[in-house]
Amino acid sequence: MDKATLKETIRDVADFPKPGIIFKDITTLLNNPEAFAATIDIFHDHYKDKNIQKILGIEARGFIFGSALAYKLQTGLNIFRKPGKLPYKTFSNTYELEYGTDTIEIHTDAVAKNERVLIIDDLIATGGTARAAADLVQRIGGTVVGLAFVMELSFLHGTDKLKDYDVYSILTF
């Protein structure tokens, strides 16, 4: 499946989560077996030679893509969660979204010293979540090999916050 066809599988939902926002809904992509497989294959082809040791999925849609890609790349997998959802000691980071603020956490032992990690999520908008995640990986002592996204909302310039990283988005809106 080419990227143009893949892009067509994503549904727009107006005024969600608040008026004026057009939400890019990936559930329609996930519901399409060919589109989901193509997404994971595209990520795999891009990262297969990058010596990634662990994938870190950002809650919650990053878990979906991260787990499938970790399986395909034969890497470890760990997760970023919202506050209070992880049972062990955590580091946290608060950041700004395009429509408010949020906080993510990661277990203090989720990444080994100098471990090469890929951070993955479904969407990069303002870049706040991704930046917060990358900062947490560095705080733990890991090495961020890249940040991967199914979609990028380029008009929000989220990659500007990530200039010191390799950022890869399959689709751009």
Q: How many CB atoms lie within 10 A of CB 19?
A: 7
Asked whether the predicted pLDDT for residue 152 surpasses 80, the reply is yes
**Model confidence band, residue 98 (pLDDT cutoffs 50, 70, 90):** low
CA 135 – CA 123 distance, rounded (Å): 18
Return left, alpha or beta for 49; rule: phi > 0 is left, psi -120 to 50 is alpha, else beta. alpha
61, 81, 131, 152: the active-site residue: 61
Active site residue 11: no
- Which pTM value belongs to this model? 0.95
Out of 3.40.50.2020, 2.60.40.10, 3.40.50.880, 3.40.50.920, which CATH number does the structure's domain 50-172 have? Answer: 3.40.50.2020
Average pLDDT, the chain: 96
Whether residue 119 has pLDDT greater than 70: yes
Residue of 9, 11, 66, 60 whose CA lies nearest to 43: 66
3-class secondary structure, 171? strand
Give the active site residue among 8, 34, 98, 139.
Answer: 98
- Judge whether 8 counts as a catalytic residue: no
Q: Facing residues of 144 across strands? A: 117
Per-residue pLDDT tens digits for 12-38: 999 998 899 899 999 999 999 999 999
Q: What is the pLDDT of residue 95?
A: 86
